[in-house]
Structure 1
């Protein structure tokens, strides 16, 4: 049964493709990252960009606009001190200083609804500039 997920707070709808792409990333490892955006007119959270398995964190950061808010998930692979291969999924709430106030408010109030749809996220990072979500931040959180 195809059904979009409705966010209770604002009547915002999370499109089915958001959950479907996330499940593919989580289970099949076919996406390294997914960027989500809100279409303010239709009040729908939708997939904006998808990074293939060979893409990296720099590709994700390059996919985020300097002047508009986005959500993103990133599948971070790393090796522990015990030489174990691990993977952790990060949720990133991107709200750059140059974005419109309305966009920032909409993204802040809609975030939890999207997070509920994306089951299996390990860590969350909120960033208003690139330094707050730098690769070192991700590495340190994943330990």
Structure 2
């Protein structure tokens, strides 16, 4: 772990802020948030929590929180009702890497993704999106059923 931190660069990926795992558990177990957005802070050489969304916020609120021209990681707790009328919830890990973002940002997010996924062990599905249509609510609905 110390090795990763001291040698963090674009090829080895970034470190992960200590509160990331706690924030995930709060979303997963306590249902404290609807979503969490994570950002790479290059100066700190780590991924940090940028924003949490209240459980009352919608998927549109979540999408509006993602930058149009920059990469982010996100978790979204998707509630739905099955065909048998059972209320369920699935957690999506979303790697947002818009085609308009800088090459360096895309590289940093790509090389840090596995480390981030390891830290967030317990999500159900992963979506890699370069365009808003790739993470439309219908995409989540299809994957979750």
* Residue equivalent to 1:93: 95
1:12 to 11, 14, 18: 14
Q: Distance in 2 between matches of 1:107 and 1:129?
A: 16
Instruction: Show structure 1 runs of 5+ residues with no match.
Output: none
Aligned-residue CA RMSD in angstroms?
1.8
* Residue equivalent to 2:38: 36
Q: Distance in 2 between matches of 1:19 and 1:73?
A: 12
Instruction: Show structure 2 runs of 5+ residues with no match.
Output: none
1:60-71 pair list within 5 angstroms: 60-71=62-73
Q: How many residue pairs are counted as aligned between the two chains?
A: 140
Contact 2:13 2:108 in 1 (8 A): no
Helix, strand or coil: the match of 1:30? coil
What TM-score results when the alignment is normalised by the length of structure 2?
Answer: 0.91
Contact 2:77 2:89 in 1 (8 A): yes
2:47 to 45, 48, 58: 45
Helix, strand or coil: the match of 1:21? helix
After TM superposition, what 4+ stretches of structure 1 lie above 3 angstroms from structure 2?
6-9
